[in-house]
A and B are shown apart, each in its own frame.
Chain A
Amino acid sequence: MMGPAFYIAAAIAVIATVMVITRYNIMHALLYLVVSLLAVAVVLYLYGAPFIAALEVIVYAGAIMVLLIFFVMMLNLGKESAMQEQRWLKPRIWIFPSLLCLVLLGELVFLISQNHQPPSEIKVVDPKAVGMALFGPYMAAVELTGILLMAGIVGAYHLGRQKEKTLHRFLEN
């Protein structure tokens, strides 16, 4: 039961990711990215990490991607941008990224062929264990991430702040 489910989810993730790269319409690309994230969530669930799987859906698929789609929606990119994308993505463009990917693939194949590790025991990690790990040995990392986010918020606030300006003939301040 586990094997086929894993391969189906993994195949969907790979196909969806390829579609993300090759679509000309940015909205469709983003939707494929959502599908890819959901497939990864299924894979994580199958590997006994239900908590991370749920967070993947809530944070990535449910919040970050919605924000991205939200911005793209406001940019109102129509057919023209898809045409432009089509002009930019010539076959010649693909050569260098493909080479890099081939090197990575070679490395991966080599590593897999080197040591035949037996698949590690699948163990369900419950939310409590994740919490204990995060606020135990990895406390510093969590705090640092928090500071990073804080910096982002402060920066966004600073950029977004503007002087109150009333555009009216009689009301100027």
Chain B
Amino acid sequence: MTNFWWIIGGVLFALLNTAAGLIWVERRMLALWQDRYGPNRAGPFGLLVVLADTLKLFFKEDWIPPFADKIVFVFAPAVVMLSVLMSFVVMPFGPHIIVADLNIGLLFFLAMSSLGVYSVVLGGWASNNKYALLGAMRGASQMISYEVFMGLALMGVVVLSGSFNLREIVEAQRTIWFIVPQFLGFLIFLVAGVAETHRLPFDIPEAESELVAGFHSEYSGMKFGMFFIGEYLGITLISGMLVTLYFGGWLGPAFLPPVIWFAIKTFCFILLFILFRASMPRPRYDQLMEYGWKVLFPLSILNLLVTAAIKLWLNT
């Protein structure tokens, strides 16, 4: 039982520190790819910029607009943190490092990510502001649409491993990582994951050049901080999921412990997310939706169909 609490505490500690550390990592990496220095003054390599940012967020005036729906306004940022942190419950960080070894692990992840939509929708609605409302509308339709392909893309992995349990999915990749037989599924999941965390290039719910800051225009102080950290946690979550489902999770050569393998692989994907932001332009809103429904949706169904057919053919 004590072991159990250690795992929860350790996972929370690692995740929150990763999310905070990503503030620095993202700014430094963006700077590197755009040929400048980035934050390099406070502390070694500018690492203390994390502390400065956090202090700033805590001491800013926590303002609730008089025209906002107060309860929902306060509640919305909590939803994003809650839903993302709950998703980590089913993630296997190592052979025995998993908070809840649920039989429906993958479905639980999908359920939590579909609840995450509420933070965007409610935040935008409660702000009672036109820009925020536009951002929330975009966010809602984008996340609902991309959830569909996300779920369908994941079903390929479920067909191959024959389980919704994430630990068993990792175990099933001992012979070959699912990136090889499920390359198309991996690509669809990657795109859907970027859209789900509304990161650039799919950050149209908060497109700052059109909508001020989109759904969180009215948020300040630590409430904004929750959205901010929630986004970084979302990146970590999608990266971790990509690793678990397609890159063998904690599997790896024995000279490093499994947790370290998991961390290294996840970190590579986090860097990929940052590289996306550094290098890609933002599509128009209707282009995003069309791309989703007209390209990704048929592709994900085709992927599932072919995977299931091959699996059946090999079994008989």
Contact = CB atoms under 8 A, between A and B. Distances in A.
B151 to A, nearest CB: 8
A70 B110 contact: no
Contacts of A55: 107
Nearest to A31: B72
A61 B108 CA distance: 13
A28 B118 CA distance: 13
Interface residues of B, number: 27
A51 B140 CA distance: 25
Interface string B10-46: 0000000000000000000000000000000000000
Contact of A54 (B72, B104, B124, B137): B104
Interface in B114-163: 114-115, 117-118, 121-122, 124-125, 133, 136-137, 140-141, 144, 147, 151
Contacts of B104: 50-51, 53-54, 127
Given A62-B115, A70-B140, A73-B125, A127 B164 contact: yes
Contacts of A34: 118
Contacts of B144: 63, 66-67, 70
A65 to B, nearest CB: 8
Nearest to B108: A54
A62 B124 CA distance: 17
Contacts of B124: 73
Nearest to A65: B118
Contacts of B114: 57-58, 61-63, 66
B111 A58 contact: yes
A69 interface: yes
B69 interface: yes
A107 interface: no
Interface string B240-253: 00000000000000
Secondary structure dominating the interface of B: helix
Secondary structure dominating the interface of A: helix
Contacts of B136: 73
Contacts, number: 70
B111 A73 contact: no
B102 interface: yes
Contacts of A63: 114, 144, 147
Interface string A25-64: 0011001001000000000000000110111011001110
Contact of A73 (B103, B115, B133, B151): B133
A66 B111 contact: no
Contacts of A28: 71-72
Contacts of B107: 51, 54-55, 58, 127
Given A57-B114, A62-B111, A50 B103 contact: yes
A70 B114 CA distance: 14
Nearest to B128: A78
A126 interface: yes
Nearest to B124: A73
Nearest to B67: A78
B104, B140, B164, most chain A CB atoms within 10 A: B104
* Ranked 4 nearest A-B pairs via Cβ: A62-B114, A54-B107, A57-B111, A50-B104
Interface of B: 69, 71-72, 102-104, 107-108, 110-111, 114-115, 117-118, 121-122, 124-125, 133, 136-137, 140-141, 144, 147, 151, 164
14 contacts: A27-B69, A54-B110, A57-B111, A61-B115, A63-B114, A63-B144, A66-B117, A66-B144, A70-B121, A70-B137, A70-B140, A70-B144, A73-B121, A74-B137
